[in-house]
Chain A
Amino acid sequence: MSNDFSVVGPKIYATIHTGIPILGDINITETLVVSWIVMAIITGLCIFLTRDLKTENISKKQAFAEMLVEMGNNFVRNNTGGNKFDKLIPFVSALFATSVISNLISLIGLRSPTADLSTEAAWAVVVFIMITSTKIKANGVGGYLKGFTTPIAVMTPFNILSELATPVSMACRHFGNILSGVVIDGLIYWALGLASAALFGLLPGAVGKFLSNIPILGVGIPAITGVYFDWFSGCMQAFIFCMLTVMYIANAAEEG
Chain B
Amino acid sequence: MPTTAPNAAHALADVTASDGTLRRFLHGLPGVDAVGLEARAASLGTRSIKTTAKAYAIDLAISMVDLTTLEGADTPGKVRALGAKAVHPDPTDPATPSTAAVCVYPDMVATAKAAVAGSSVKVASVATAFPAGRAPLTVKLADVREAVAAGADEIDMVIDRGAFLAGHFMKVYDEIVAVREACGTEARLKVIFETGELSTYDNIRRASWLGMLAGADFIKTSTGKVAVNATPANTLLMLEAVRDFRAQTGIQVGVKPAGGIRTSKDAIKFLVLVNETAGEDWLDNHWFRFGASSLLNDLLMQRQKLATGRYSGPDYVTVD
Chain B binds chain A: no
Chain B residues packing against A (C-beta within 8 Å) = none
Chain A residues packing against B (C-beta within 8 Å) = none
